[in-house]
Structure 1
Amino acid sequence: MPPVPPSAPDPLDPHDLLARLIAIDSVNPDLAGDGAGESAIADFCGEWLAARGFEVHRLDKRGGRPSVVAIARGAGGGRSLMLNGHLDTVGVAGYDGDPFDPEIRDGRMYGRGSFDMKGGLAAMMIAAVRATAGGPLRGDVLLACVADEEHGSTGTEEVLESFTADAAIVTEPSHLEVTLAHKGFAWFDVVIEGRAAHGSRPDLGVDAIAKAGHFLVALEELGTRLAQGPAHPLLGTGTVHASVIAGGQEPSTYPAHCRITLERRTVPGENADTVEAELTAVLDRLAAAVPGFRYRLTRGLHREPFQADPEARIVRTLTRHAEAVLGHPPVVRGEPFWTDAALLDRAGIPCLLFGADGEGAHAAREWADLASLDRLTGIFTATITDFCS
């Protein structure tokens, strides 16, 4: 009797697909100058999905930073669902081991992006194929594999210029917990104005760094007031911290300027406008109370917080199937970090976050729990089938 040949890898095995995604360097070049970007992984995802009958659109307005939207067209009369996951990862400097050599130990797959968030990508890709394997559903299934989430979210912004859906799931890692809210952020530069003069001439100089000290104390006091104020039920309160400070030229010169970059994390009900008014009030009080205190306030990058409607159909549908797979009602939570869900919500697409378990996002060692990946794939498959039928 001839020997039985080894079985070929299951083409719809989420473990195998995750390993193949990890092996592709997709470090965001806006975070690391030598990052490979998303071209290779976008090619892989596009070809993998096209081979399985999906209509594939490649978007690359920036040039060299592509996103892919793959569509399984519905038969008509059903709701459309978009699953959104990002292709890019953070850098690998200081990573413990080979970040692009997926390794399985103790039910975990290690490698850069395994948790954040190639596990979510693998689950949503395989779930979409499984859900449509028996023929088209009534509604369209869209897979948005996007660039640049880890920096500027230009990928999802570009996708939303051309595509929409009746609902969306952002497949960021969430430990199989239903995430219905996350914080936003606003960056500001505060330049405290001094007057340059020789260090021997205090009668002529104004020390911008010393004046900035008054603002840093006031900023810490603002953070304390925020922590003691009204809290969002899932997110707690907003926060503020000084991130970067620069000023002065040499020991013997009074500094003419001191620049402080700060970050304000926001909760629903707060935005860049409310934060600017809050900071202006703090700075104006200092200008009135501290002799010679002058400032300039400049708004930088800002992103809105996100809050889903817990009664939205996509939330209820996914929660029901998660409970069936997990054997208990899933935990409902909020996240302190920002995601592309806020962009989808602003575009009028009801959405939530739901993803795999694991650890090590942006850390020296990163892993995804493979049992959770299997559960996630099953939950997505059932949710797609139900929602789009």
Structure 2
Amino acid sequence: MKIEQTTLTQKAIDLLKQLISIQSFSSEEDKTAEAIEQWFMNFDIPFERINNNVFAKNKYWDNAKPTLLLNSHHDTVKPNKAYTKDPFDPHIEDGKLYGLGSNDAGGALVSLMATFVHFYDAENLNHNILIVASAEEENAGKNSLRGLLSSLPKIDVAIVGEPTLMQLAIAEKGLVVFDAVVKGTPSHAAHPNDNNAIYNTIEVLEWFKNYGFKKTSETLGDVKMTVTQINAGSQHNVVPAQVELVVDVRVNDQYTNKEIADLLKSEAPCELQERGLNLNSSKIDKGHALVRSGIALGRTTYGSPTLSDQAALTCQSLKLGPGDSTRSHSADEYIYVREIEEGIHLYIKILEGFLTK
């Protein structure tokens, strides 16, 4: 099945337009899953589906070989209120393909799917190729890649498709979200109260703002801690008993998530409880053959501050894809058509350097 790259690229762009036109919020991806199934059927490629995850193996799968995973997701966040264009209307203006999920991560997904088709019936590859179009990435849901892994073959190395401008994100920060409680004495607002929970929160917020983690990372920099939500009070004349905060901590590869939780819970001037510890940082050795293949094509390496399905994987993984991460979750989201063309070309070239040597 030899398909010209230009033809394959156009089919990928057509698929992306179709995916944009279908609402696919996290856990509601059944219709985009059907569109992806149809893509594989159009190329006579056998596939499987579990929940809304669709996956396929290359034609000459060999259980004796290690496995390369190609993965990206087809769910989206909900469009924000600043949209001026219809988020479900895929259209091209000035070389930009607009639509919800175009950049995050539809462009990467269809580019990886085209790359998989390119290599599907190639013989004598040194790795098997497994492609997974996964669901529930945006909300880290139970039916995401994480929930699928037990049904997949062992994965030895992975490319996770996210917008990186086709540069090589060789590390990714992990995430721990904490719920914090600052307590005080509830009272009527008209009476004296020197233990006002809201006032007590000022000192706590300063502590979070100024706290510094000692270990820094060559690729991921410092751990970043940010208070992102605050909630207190029910009416104007009542001093509340407590203030509730949400704290977002982006963890570098010098700490485990448990180390971060233990450290903050022992030192923070308030009660803290983590929501989970399973979204750890990820990385791949800079000397890995997959990375070397990309560097040989002029790609640069960096550490990514944003989270992806890499957090579900225990193998070495590389984040790589067309599009720009700064456009993700923005109003009037778009990806350049040329970025998809370049993405498919570079994915194929990188894998040629990795799979055939």
* Normalised TM-score (structure 1): 0.81
**Contact (CA 8 Å) 1:131, 1:385: kept in 2 or not?**
no
2:293 counterpart residue number: 317
Letter in 2 for 1:73: K
2:305 counterpart residue number: 336
| Superposed displacement of residue 277, structure 1 | 3.0
2:228 counterpart residue number: 243
Are 1:377 and 2:344 an aligned pair? Answer: yes
Which digits, 9 at most, give the CA deviation of each residue in 1:172-212, with x for residues without a partner?
Answer: 11101011011112111121222323334437x83222222
Of residues 168, 171, 175, the one that matches 1:185 is 175
Of residues 211, 220, 226, the one that matches 2:200 is 211
Letter in 2 for 1:141: I
Letter in 1 for 2:235: E
Of residues 296, 309, 317, the one that matches 2:271 is 296
Residues in 2 aligned to 1:306 and 1:92: alpha-carbon distance in whole angstroms: 28
Letter in 2 for 1:316: R
2:77 counterpart residue number: 90
In 2 relative to 1, CA 137–74 (structure 1 residues): closer, same or farther, beyond 3 Å? farther
Give the fraction of aligned pairs with identical amino acids, expressed as a percent. 25
**Contact (CA 8 Å) 1:67, 1:146: kept in 2 or not?**
yes
Letter in 1 for 2:22: I
Which digits, 9 at most, give the CA deviation of each residue in 1:296-325, with x for residues without a partner?
Answer: 3211144211221112232223444xx0xx
1:279 counterpart residue number: 264
Q: Structure 1: give runs of 5+ residues left out of the alignment.
A: 1-8, 30-36, 61-65, 287-294, 324-328
In 2 relative to 1, CA 117–202 (structure 1 residues): closer, same or farther, beyond 3 Å? same
2:328 counterpart residue number: 361
2:283 counterpart residue number: 307
| Superposed displacement of residue 124, structure 1 | 0.9
In 2 relative to 1, CA 125–141 (structure 1 residues): closer, same or farther, beyond 3 Å? same
2:3 counterpart residue number: none
1:128 counterpart residue number: 116
Are 1:202 and 2:192 an aligned pair? Answer: yes
| Superposed displacement of residue 134, structure 1 | 5.5
Residues in 2 aligned to 1:17 and 1:381: alpha-carbon distance in whole angstroms: 19
2:150 counterpart residue number: 161
**Contact (CA 8 Å) 2:283, 2:316: kept in 1 or not?**
no
> What secondary structure, in the 3-state scheme, does the structure 1 residue paired with 2:287 have?
coil
Are 1:116 and 2:112 an aligned pair? Answer: no
2:24 counterpart residue number: 26
| Superposed displacement of residue 53, structure 1 | 2.9
Residues in 1 aligned to 2:349 and 2:42: alpha-carbon distance in whole angstroms: 22
Of residues 224, 235, 243, the one that matches 1:258 is 243
Are 1:81 and 2:68 an aligned pair? Answer: yes
Letter in 2 for 1:48: W
**Contact (CA 8 Å) 1:312, 1:350: kept in 2 or not?**
no
Q: Structure 2: give runs of 5+ residues left out of the alignment.
A: 1-5
Letter in 2 for 1:72: N
Letter in 2 for 1:221: N
**Contact (CA 8 Å) 2:216, 2:254: kept in 1 or not?**
no
1:6 counterpart residue number: none
Which has the greater radius of gyration? 1
The number of aligned residues is: 344
Letter in 2 for 1:340: D
Residues in 2 aligned to 1:362 and 1:74: alpha-carbon distance in whole angstroms: 38
**Contact (CA 8 Å) 1:53, 1:72: kept in 2 or not?**
no
Are 1:147 and 2:135 an aligned pair? Answer: yes
> What secondary structure, in the 3-state scheme, does the structure 2 residue paired with 1:100 have?
coil
CA RMSD of aligned residues (A): 2.4
1:292 counterpart residue number: none
Which digits, 9 at most, give the CA deviation of each residue in 1:116-164, with x for residues without a partner?
Answer: 1111111111111122256685643211101111111541102211213
| Superposed displacement of residue 255, structure 1 | 1.8
The more displaced of 371-380 and 79-88 is 371-380
**Contact (CA 8 Å) 2:70, 2:130: kept in 1 or not?**
yes
Of residues 71, 79, 98, the one that matches 2:57 is 71
Residues in 2 aligned to 1:102 and 1:129: alpha-carbon distance in whole angstroms: 24
In 2 relative to 1, CA 256–69 (structure 1 residues): closer, same or farther, beyond 3 Å? same
> What secondary structure, in the 3-state scheme, does the structure 2 residue paired with 1:55 have?
coil
1:32 counterpart residue number: none
